[in-house]
């Protein structure tokens, strides 16, 4: 508001002075008589006002913390920072692991002395990455909310300007303000707009802006509590320099919610809405597979609007059904039948990987999920293993069998294979290629094939690769056929729950063995 007033005053001043100057020239004789010295003075005043106007306009927009109130000092005394967004962790449903990780940072901001005494440095930058609408902005707001910090939202795209130096200056101003109002949280959405890998030709505007961001992040002292949160849908696009220790060194994946998280998110968004007692949130959660938090919030809102339109006192199941359909249509999703079929295939595919992993005791499984991540429709996440410098031939083959387990499960259950194994095949082939060409682990003997040799001997090498892959695939199929009942159990549970932690998976394997009275057969 204050900004607008100053801008209007500047513009009026410029117009007034220009009119005065013009009238001293126009007409014969001129309508206003001014001496040359006074004209020069007017010209200078006009120029200074213009320069001030440009500078003000350049530095002031979007850099004000949100929710500024005039009685800031008064509120600060009460320990209630007025710039704090009203979002708390309770408003962010699901994302438990991320929130757990953030608790430490929040404690750091709230009790910095505790950490400084130990000589610990406050983390400066956090990077949230993942698909759109999954709560990255919401989480950043919650960090500010939980720590009573000022919140400075900005979008990477805002910094990219036509004129060299403008973006860099905006970054500088943003950090100055945040430091002045510390503790504060700077949130830069779409950080890839400025943080994408730098081009070789230097000096372009984007590079300068990124350089300024790096300078600012290196510049503030660790006892200035300014946390910079960046968000992007594409981590792979970011410049390495941005991800280095001391900058955005904490990377957190914010993925689409699983069925439990969807239930929690729906509950958050119907909190203040009158809902018909017959509406079962669990069922709604099951029906919204693949949707983001933003979609779910949208569904709750659409349902409320429909209830008003239908003159209802409470939001009923019909409204929710219509709202889901509307949001799905907006997504241009495949129809529900295709979606269900895909979900079933992915459940068996991931169960196949996980079960063979368990049977062959390869890496410890940390998570099995059928929630899409990146291009994958589901994934098995392994616990970070210690660096291995040596792998035996059978260990490598076991890795390949686990990778082929997804496709094997599909073939056994559906009698047909899908495109879902593309990435698995790439990885499996890469391992086997190394076995043949680099490790001398094939019938070709203890030989190494440099790239020039590979060309000449390709049919031979290809024959070896095929043989190992085929053998591993047949073994993977056999493992799964030997444990078909357990595969069914895992796939069905995965279909219902969508995500299983490592412990849940272990417990499920135990339960399924009891239930089916079968033990795992390798």
Q: How far apart are CA 80 and CA 149, in angstroms?
A: 9
Q: Rule CB under 6 A: is residue 132 a binding residue for ligand ATP?
A: yes
Cα 33 to Cα 17, 18, 21, 26, 380: the distances in Å are 14, 15, 10, 10, 84
Residue 406 interacts, among ligand ATP, Zn ion, none and using kind-specific CB cut-offs from 5 to 8 Å, with: Zn ion
Minimal distance, residue 486 CB to Zn ion, in Å: 18
How far, rounded to the nearest angstrom, does the alpha carbon of residue 440 sit from its chain's CA centroid? 41
Q: How far apart are CA 17 and CA 22, in angstroms?
A: 9
Task: Give me 457's structure tokens.
Answer: 């001997």
Minimal distance, residue 297 CB to ligand ATP, in Å: 4
Site for ligand ATP in 383-422 (CB under 6 A): none
Beta-carbon contacts of residue 427 (< 8 Å; ≥ 6 apart)? 403
Contact criterion met (CB below 8 Å) for 231 and 129: yes
For residues 197 to 236, the per-residue mask of contacts with ligand ATP, x marking binding by CB under 6 A and - elsewhere, is: ----------------------------------x-x---
Please choose, from the candidates 372, 357, 382, 354, the residue with its C-alpha nearest in 3D space to the C-alpha of residue 498: 372
Q: Rule CB under 6 A: is residue 136 a binding residue for ligand ATP?
A: yes
The verdict on whether 302 is a catalytic residue reads: no
Contact criterion met (CB below 8 Å) for 170 and 159: yes
For residues 415 to 454, the per-residue mask of contacts with Zn ion, x marking binding by CB under 5 A and - elsewhere, is: ---------x------------------------------
Q: Rule CB under 5 A: is residue 406 a binding residue for Zn ion?
A: yes
Among residues 350, 410, 475, 498, the one annotated as catalytic is 350
Neighbours of 405 (CB within 10 A): 32
Q: Rule CB under 6 A: is residue 323 a binding residue for ligand ATP?
A: no
Q: At what angle do helices 458-482 and 393-414 cross, to 10 degrees?
A: 60
Residue 238 interacts, among ligand ATP, Zn ion, none and using kind-specific CB cut-offs from 5 to 8 Å, with: none
Residue 297 interacts, among Zn ion, ligand ATP, none and using kind-specific CB cut-offs from 5 to 8 Å, with: ligand ATP
Beta-carbon contacts of residue 497 (< 8 Å; ≥ 6 apart)? 258, 259, 260, 504
Shorter beta-carbon distance to ligand ATP: residue 90 or 422: 90
Shorter beta-carbon distance to ligand ATP: residue 258 or 424: 258
Residue 295, annotated ligand binder? no
Minimal distance, residue 152 CB to Zn ion, in Å: 41
Residue 372, annotated ligand binder? no
For residues 356 to 395, the per-residue mask of contacts with Zn ion, x marking binding by CB under 5 A and - elsewhere, is: ----------------------------------------
Q: Give, for 49, the enclosing helix (H) or strand (E).
A: helix 36-59
Q: How far apart are CA 437 and CA 464, in angstroms?
A: 10
Q: How far apart are CA 311 and CA 7, in angstroms?
A: 47
Q: How far apart are CA 462 and CA 53, in angstroms?
A: 70
Residue of minimal Cβ distance to Zn ion: 406
Q: Give, for 35, the enclosing helix (H) or strand (E).
A: none
Site for ligand ATP in 90-109 (CB under 6 A): 92-95
Q: How far apart are CA 323 and CA 306, in angstroms?
A: 8
Residue 93 interacts, among Zn ion, ligand ATP, none and using kind-specific CB cut-offs from 5 to 8 Å, with: ligand ATP
Shorter beta-carbon distance to ligand ATP: residue 92 or 193: 92
Shorter beta-carbon distance to ligand ATP: residue 133 or 357: 133
Question: Residue 29 carries which DSSP code?
Answer: T
Please choose, from the candidates 464, 404, 474, the residue with its C-alpha nearest in 3D space to the C-alpha of residue 434: 464
Q: Single out the residue of 10, 109, 138, 469 in contact with ligand ATP (rule: CB under 6 A).
A: 138
For residues 255 to 294, the per-residue mask of contacts with ligand ATP, x marking binding by CB under 6 A and - elsewhere, is: ----------x--x------------------------xx
Can you count the helices (H) and strands (E) in the chain? Answer: 22, 8
Residues serving a catalytic function are 350
Binding-site residue positions for Zn(2+): 349, 353, 424
Residues in contact with Zn ion by CB under 5 A are 406, 424
Residues in contact with ligand ATP by CB under 6 A are 92-95, 132-138, 189, 231, 233, 265, 268, 293-294, 297
Binding-site residue positions: 130-137, 349, 353, 424
């Amino acid at each position: 508001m204050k900004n607008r007033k100053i801008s209007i005053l500047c513009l009026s001043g410029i117009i007034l002075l220009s009119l005065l100057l013009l009238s001293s020239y126009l007409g014969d004789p001129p309508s206003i008589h001014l001496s040359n010295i006074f004209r020069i003075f007017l010209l200078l005043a006009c120029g200074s006002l213009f320069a001030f106007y440009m500078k003000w306009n350049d530095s002031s927009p979007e850099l004000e913390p949100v929710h500024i109130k005039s009685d800031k000092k008064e509120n600060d005394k009460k320990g209630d920072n007025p710039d704090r967004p009203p979002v708390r962790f309770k408003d962010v449903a699901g994302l438990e692991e991320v929130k757990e990780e953030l608790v430490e940072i929040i404690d750091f901001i709230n009790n910095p002395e505790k950490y400084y005494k130990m000589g610990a440095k406050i983390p400066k930058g956090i990077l949230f990455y993942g698909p759109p609408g999954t709560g990255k902005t919401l989480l950043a707001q919650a960090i500010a909310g939980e720590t009573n910090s000022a919140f400075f939202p900005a979008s990477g795209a805002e910094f990219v300007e036509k004129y060299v130096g403008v973006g860099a200056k905006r970054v500088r101003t943003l950090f100055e303000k945040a430091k002045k109002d510390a503790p504060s949280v700077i949130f830069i959405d779409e950080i890839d707009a400025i943080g994408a890998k730098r081009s070789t030709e230097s000096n372009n505007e984007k590079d300068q802006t990124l350089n300024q961001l790096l300078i600012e992040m290196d510049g503030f002292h660790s006892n200035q509590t300014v946390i910079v949160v960046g968000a992007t849908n594409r981590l792979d696009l970011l410049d390495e320099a941005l991800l280095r220790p001391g900058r955005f060194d904490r990377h957190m994946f914010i993925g689409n919610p699983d069925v439990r998280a969807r239930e929690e998110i729906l509950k958050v968004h119907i909190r203040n809405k009158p809902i018909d007692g017959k509406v079962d949130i669990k069922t709604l959660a099951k029906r919204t597979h693949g949707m983001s938090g933003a979609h779910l919030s949208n569904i709750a809102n659409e349902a409320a609007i429909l209830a008003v339109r239908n003159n209802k006192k409470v939001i009923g199941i019909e409204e929710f059904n219509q709202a889901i359909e509307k949001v799905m249509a907006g997504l241009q999703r495949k129809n529900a039948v295709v979606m269900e079929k895909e979900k079933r295939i992915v459940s068996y595919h991931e169960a196949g990987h996980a079960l063979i992993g368990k049977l062959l005791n390869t890496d410890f499984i940390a998570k099995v999920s059928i929630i899409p991540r990146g291009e994958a429709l589901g994934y098995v996440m392994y616990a970070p293993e210690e660096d291995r410098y040596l792998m035996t031939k059978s260990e490598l083959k076991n890795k390949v069998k686990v990778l082929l387990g997804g496709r094997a499960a599909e073939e056994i259950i559906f009698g047909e294979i899908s495109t879902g194994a593309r990435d698995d095949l790439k990885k499996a082939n890469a391992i086997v290629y190394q076995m043949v060409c680099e490790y001398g682990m094939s019938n070709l003997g203890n030989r190494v094939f440099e790239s020039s040799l590979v060309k000449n001997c390709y049919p031979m090498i290809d024959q070896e690769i095929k043989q190992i892959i085929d053998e591993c695939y047949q073994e993977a199929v056999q493992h799964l056929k030997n444990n078909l009942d357990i595969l069914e159990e895992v796939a069905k549970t995965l279909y219902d729950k969508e995500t299983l932690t490592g412990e849940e998976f272990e417990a499920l394997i135990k339960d399924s063995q009891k239930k089916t009275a079968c033990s795992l057969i390798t």
